[in-house]
Amino acid sequence: MAVTVDTTSPQNTVAYACNPKLKEAYKLLRDGVSKRLTVILIGDFKVEYEGRAASTLDFGERILIIKRDGAVLVHRSEGYEPVNWQPGGGIIHVLLDEERLTVRAIRKNPLEVLKICFRKVYALLLLRLKDVSEFHLYASE
């Protein structure tokens, strides 16, 4: 496992880890979420959603993105749309037991819970992104 923490650049990568143990990934992830950093995790995980509907996605290698506003996106290896997502403004909990690292994204209104359970983390990236530019749409399809 390699963990690098960059304390010299407040606007770029804060930390990244390659093949961290779940305990190390838990510490970094908890820190990143509490500091409202952008988090990218790549690993083997399953997803459960319960709210206005319900869904399950068994273990597989995927990408999890947690944005600084609390938005959560689960992407598979193909396609541009997330297979599961939660809008920003909710609560993010990071939990660890002996076998799993779990992220719970909770939206209060309407009540929705997205539960992501990792059995292996391949890469974890914590970012302090700066993006203040305005978006201008000149045409639409």
User: What 8-state DSSP symbol labels residue 133?
Assistant: P
User: What 8-state DSSP symbol labels residue 89?
Assistant: T
Rounded CA separation 29/32 (Å): 5
Residue 135 is assigned to a structural domain of this protein: no
pTM (whole model) above 0.85: yes
Query: Is the model's pLDDT at 9 over the cut of 60?
Result: no
**At 50, which CATH number?**
2.70.180.20
CB 114 within 8 A of CB 46: no
Residue 141 is assigned to a structural domain of this protein: no
CB 25 within 8 A of CB 123: no
Q: For 27-77, what is the HEC assignment?
A: HHHHHHHHCCCEEEEEEEEEEEEECCCEEEEEEEEEEEEECCCCCEEEECC
Task: Look up the domain containing 41 and give its range.
Answer: 2-127
pLDDT at position 6 is 57
Q: State whether residue 25 is helix, strand or coil.
A: helix
Residue 80 is assigned to a structural domain of this protein: yes
Query: Is the model's pLDDT at 10 over the cut of 60?
Result: no
The confidence band for 3, taking pLDDT boundaries of 50, 70 and 90, is low
Residue 133 is assigned to a structural domain of this protein: no
The domain tally of the chain equals: 1
Query: Is the model's pLDDT at 130 over the cut of 60?
Result: yes
Residue 78 is assigned to a structural domain of this protein: yes
Residue 108 is assigned to a structural domain of this protein: yes
Query: Is the model's pLDDT at 11 over the cut of 80?
Result: no
CB 65 within 8 A of CB 40: yes
φ, ψ for residue 109, nearest 5 deg: -140, 105
Query: Is the model's pLDDT at 69 over the cut of 60?
Result: yes
Residue 37 is assigned to a structural domain of this protein: yes
Residue 65 is assigned to a structural domain of this protein: yes
